[in-house]
């Protein structure tokens, strides 16, 4: 048995076996609560300023030599530079030194924790994770204050890199050919660390609790980035097991990557469009590398959420036009601003609502704040001449909302006509189907728009009346609940009767157990995480429609989740034993 096993979030799939090497570990070093005489205060502030200046110079140097494989992360280094130069952090620390007569290290740590406490109260996970950027900068300054920094330059062999956090600036200083994988204490799926790992295409686990306390430099570890765990000082038996699994997975990866540019087509010729869900332009390369046939869901709200001031029309136009140009002739579907509830813009005062998930969010927010909505629609229409752009409205509950949204779109078209600004007059307009009310009137809605996209994550939660983030009821999040399967099929049939296409953009679409059922309904496409595309394409290319339809008939014949899940597990595992070795499933939440 391994000496210890710690768990985190697997953000870049794979397995590696090697010796641990820590950098940036000083963040966990105990900072003594040392007071100083008043005469030393300015000296401590000078130390703090010098350390900050040193880090700023390092970031600027790193920014100037961003390698090709990290070129999309230049903006992240810019954001770290801005934090480094932001007077709030440094001024707060300097004020603490003067008023409390404490060391620069202690003042810096207290200032960061004050900022972290403010971030922790933010509901939106994307914004909440931005505290990691502040910590990254502060950790780097702290290392300079403490005089300790580890470099990979002296490494004589390839190692498993471990760190409190890892930034693009850190990565630029690394000799990547000496790094086989990495694990960090901080970070999440949408953190810069997670994006960095996927860009480097090496196994990685982030947000590992107890990593720095458990692992030691030079100790043998197994990084299991398929299941999100790290085995520290493994046994001979575990080494043998994971060596075999590593070999199998690498062969599997080579196989699916070789085929990822092939179309998502069944053996009997049914073609499914495989697109990607993304929220950052940095992810676009990953879409192309993994064989994505476009972007089926671009979450535009992140341009509004992660900044002090709201974006201008020009900001949005440049962002959307760049996406359209890089993807053309493939399609990019821009979902209009989906804020409200737990995703509040910095410029907006948080709404005081008793049930924000059922309140002013999605299209409701946009129709309430028409100035913001129309500004975004102008940017989308202007970008539409640069490629194959579609627009999609979220959180539609009824016909009136669709017509109001289209009315605003037409007003913007008239403005652009009057100003002589070009746009695509035939830009497709679609809606998200994610509320039970929209399901029930899908046939009517299909007469008003050009396409549907079924958002299964919200549809499941609103249909079953549960929040899957709530540990007390998350077990009720059942993708194959009979009501969910029948709802999706009802929408697909209504769309096709109305002569429009329908895709699925929730997590269900990237679940290997669920995709054959969706195919049995004859959906037209899916939009999933870029990294899931090769594996899902592989499954699609091995099935035929008749077996998918039969599986759907079997599922529809059962009235309970347990019977449906059992039937699906038996069928799919028997059909794809090799692929499912490496996949997690939403059905794993059952039982």
Contact call for residues 514 and 536 (beta carbons, < 8 A): no
Cα maximum dimension of the chain: 83
Q: Binding site annotation covers 198?
A: no
Q: Binding site annotation covers 468?
A: yes
Contact call for residues 108 and 116 (beta carbons, < 8 A): no
Q: Binding site annotation covers 290?
A: no
**Distance between CA atoms of 512 and 581, rounded to whole angstroms?**
11
Task: Tell me which residues are annotated as active site.
Answer: 192, 505
**Distance between CA atoms of 519 and 492, rounded to whole angstroms?**
11
What does DSSP say about strands 15-23 and 159-163: parallel, antiparallel, or unpaired? parallel
In this structure, the number of other CB atoms found within 10 A of the CB of residue 199 comes to: 21
In this structure, the number of other CB atoms found within 10 A of the CB of residue 329 comes to: 7
Non-local CB neighbours of 115 within 8 Å, separated by 6+ positions: 88, 89, 92, 131, 134
Phi first, then psi: what are they for 386, rounded to 5°? -95, 0
Q: Binding site annotation covers 335?
A: yes
**Distance between CA atoms of 419 and 564, rounded to whole angstroms?**
57
Measured over the CA atoms of residue 312, residue 315, residue 319 and residue 325, the dihedral's sign is: positive
Burial of 195 from C-beta contacts in 10 A (0-12 / 13-18 / 19+): buried
Binding site, by residue number, is: 299, 335, 434, 457-458, 468
Residues annotated within a binding site for Mg(2+): 434, 458
Query: Which residues contribute to the annotated binding site for phosphoenolpyruvate?
Result: 299, 335, 457-458, 468
């Amino acid at each position: 048995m391994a000496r210890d096993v710690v768990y985190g979030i697997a953000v870049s799939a794979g397995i590696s076996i090697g010796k641990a090497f820590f950098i940036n570990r000083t963040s966990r070093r105990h900072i003594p609560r040392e007071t100083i005489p008043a005469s030393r205060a300015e000296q401590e502030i000078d130390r703090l300023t010098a350390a900050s200046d040193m880090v700023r110079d390092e970031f600027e140097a790193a920014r100037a030599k961003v390698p090709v494989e990290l070129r999309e992360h230049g903006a992240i280094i810019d954001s770290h530079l801005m934090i480094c130069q932001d007077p709030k952090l440094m001024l707060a620390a300097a004020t603490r030194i003067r008023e409390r007569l404490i060391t620069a290290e202690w003042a810096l740590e207290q200032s960061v924790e004050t900022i972290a406490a403010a971030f922790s109260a933010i509901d939106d996970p994307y914004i909440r994770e931005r505290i990691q950027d502040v910590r990254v900068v502060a950790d780097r300054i702290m290392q300079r204050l403490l005089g300790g920094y580890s470099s990979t330059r002296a490494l004589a062999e390839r190692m498993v890199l471990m760190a409190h956090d890892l930034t693009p600036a850190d990565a630029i200083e690394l000799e990547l050919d000496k790094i086989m994988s990495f694990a960090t204490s901080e970070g999440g799926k949408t953190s810069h660390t997670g994006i960095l790992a996927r860009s480097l295409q090496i196994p990685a686990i982030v947000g590992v609790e107890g990593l720095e306390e458990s692992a030691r430099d030079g100790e043998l570890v197994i990084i299991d980035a398929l299941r999100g765990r790290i085995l520290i000082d493994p046994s001979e038996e575990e080494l043998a097991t994971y060596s075999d699994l590593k070999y199998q997975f690498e062969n599997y990866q080579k196989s699916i990557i070789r085929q990822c540019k092939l179309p998502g087509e069944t053996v009997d010729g049914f073609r499914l469009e495989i697109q990607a869900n993304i929220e950052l332009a940095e992810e676009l390369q990953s879409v192309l590398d993994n064989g994505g046939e476009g972007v089926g869901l671009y979450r535009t709200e992140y341009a509004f959420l992660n900044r002090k001031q709201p974006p201008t029309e020009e900001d949005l136009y440049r962002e959307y036009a760049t996406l359209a140009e890089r993807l053309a002739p493939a399609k990019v579907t821009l979902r209009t601003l989906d804020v409200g509830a737990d995703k509040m813009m910095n410029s907006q005062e948080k709404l005081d609502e008793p049930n924000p998930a059922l309140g002013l969010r999605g299209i409701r927010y946009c129709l309430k704040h028409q100035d913001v909505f129309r500004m975004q629609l102008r940017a989308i229409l202007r970008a539409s001449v640069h490629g194959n752009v579609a627009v999609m409205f979220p959180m539609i509950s009824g016909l009136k909302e669709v017509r109001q949204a289209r009315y605003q779109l037409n007003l913007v078209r008239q403005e652009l006509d009057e100003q002589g600004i070009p746009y695509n007059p035939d830009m497709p307009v679609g809606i998200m189907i994610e509320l039970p009310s929209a399901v029930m009137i899908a046939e009517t809605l299909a007469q008003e728009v050009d396409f549907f996209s079924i958002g299964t994550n919200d549809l499941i939660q609103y249909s079953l009346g549960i929040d899957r983030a709530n540990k007390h009821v998350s077990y009720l999040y059942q993708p194959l609940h009979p009501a969910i399967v029948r709802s999706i099929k009802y929408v697909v049939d209504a769309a096709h009767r109305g002569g429009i296409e329908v895709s699925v953009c929730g997590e269900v679409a990237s679940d290997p157990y669920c995709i054959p059922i969706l195919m049995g309904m004859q959906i037209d496409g899916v939009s999933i995480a870029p990294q899931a595309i090769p594996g899902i394409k592989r499954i699609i290319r091995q099935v035929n429609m008749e077996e998918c339809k039969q599986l759907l008939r079997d599922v529809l014949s059962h009235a309970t989740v347990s019977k449906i899940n059992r039937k699906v597990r038996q069928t799919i595992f028997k059909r794809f034993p090799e692929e499912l070795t490496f996949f997690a499933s939403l059905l794993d939440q059952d039982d």
